A and B are shown apart, each in its own frame.
Chain A
Amino acid sequence: MTEILADLNYWVTIFLMIGGLYIITAHGNMIKKLVGLGIFQTSVYLLFLSPGKVLGGTAPIIAPGFELYSNPLPHVLILTAIVVGVATIALGLALVVRIHEAYGTIEDDEVQEMEAD
């Protein structure tokens, strides 16, 4: 039982990943696509952080009285990735605003139809 619970982190990560992938591929609304992209991105955060956790360890801030610390390296990588993630999503949203101004819609198939006309 504890083994299944321990692997739950990975399984939820996978679920979030394919949930994000599904939103990106199946939905045509660009804002929803960007939210899906965000979910996919956060699943990668979990994918990096879960293996770095050491059971019985503590946060990697050195203090007397603690021996076991979690792996600090994934934290560093993901910390920067989060802020970069919001900056790139802002860029995507800026593109959506411009597309809405130019075409009057944010559904990708409607934009394609207008291009085809």
Chain B
Amino acid sequence: MMRDTVILRVVVKLLLPAILIFALYVQFHGDYGPGGGFQAGVAAAAAIILYGMVFGIDEAKKVVPRRIVNTMIPLGVLIFAGTGVASLLLGENYLDYSPLGSKPVKGQHLGILIVEAGVFITVASTMLAIFYVFGGRADEADEKGGEG
């Protein structure tokens, strides 16, 4: 891809931590301002995708390996569904977070945080996995001299 462009490489390296911090801010500030798991997941995936586009997908795979991405996709769904099972076991309806804390309000707040984390994990890893397979195909096509 664009491995020879010095300015891009430097700017991307500077931007990368900023984007990741912004993703975390969007994630954990989602209760108070605009944001939440969906947005933060896409933003975090976008940071890695930017890195992969400039430095090559193999470099991005060193930062976040395929194995981790593939485990994270179901992990997020399991966290979400598991929260529901936990509230079932604590004697409430499925996905009613009230019994998770000492007071119902605290339980609800905690439940929202956990569920948003599950959403974040699944969304970010799914976007990254999709980018990896599409980009991997493109690299393969380049190696075989496919049409550009």
Contacts and interface: CB of A to CB of B under 8 A. Distances in A.
Interface of A: 59, 61, 79-80, 82-83, 86-87, 90, 93-94, 97
A66 B34 CA distance: 16
B137 A97 contact: yes
Chain A's interface: helix, strand, loop or mixed, by majority? helix
B126 A80 contact: no
B145 interface: no
Contacts of A87: 126, 130
Contacts of A83: 38, 41-42, 123
Interface in B125-148: 126-127, 130, 133-134, 137
Contacts of B34: 59, 61
The range of chain B's interface size is 10 to 19
Nearest to A87: B126
B91 interface: no
22 contacts: A59-B34, A61-B32, A61-B33, A61-B34, A79-B36, A79-B38, A80-B38, A82-B38, A83-B38, A83-B41, A83-B42, A83-B123, A86-B127, A87-B126, A87-B130, A90-B130, A90-B134, A93-B134, A94-B133, A94-B134, A97-B134, A97-B137
Contacts, number: 22
Contacts of B32: 61
B148 to A, nearest CB: 14
Contacts of B137: 97
B37 to A, nearest CB: 9
Interface in B105-131: 123, 126-127, 130
Contacts of B127: 86
Nearest to B31: A61
Which of A61, A83, A86, A87 has the most chain B CB atoms inside 10 A of its CB? A83
A82 B127 CA distance: 13
Contacts of A94: 133-134
Nearest to A93: B134
**Ranked 10 nearest A-B pairs via Cβ:** A90-B130, A83-B38, A83-B123, A79-B38, A97-B137, A87-B126, A61-B33, A80-B38, A83-B42, A61-B34
Given A59-B34, A61-B34, A90-B130, 8 more contacts: A61-B32, A80-B38, A83-B38, A83-B41, A83-B123, A86-B127, A87-B126, A94-B133
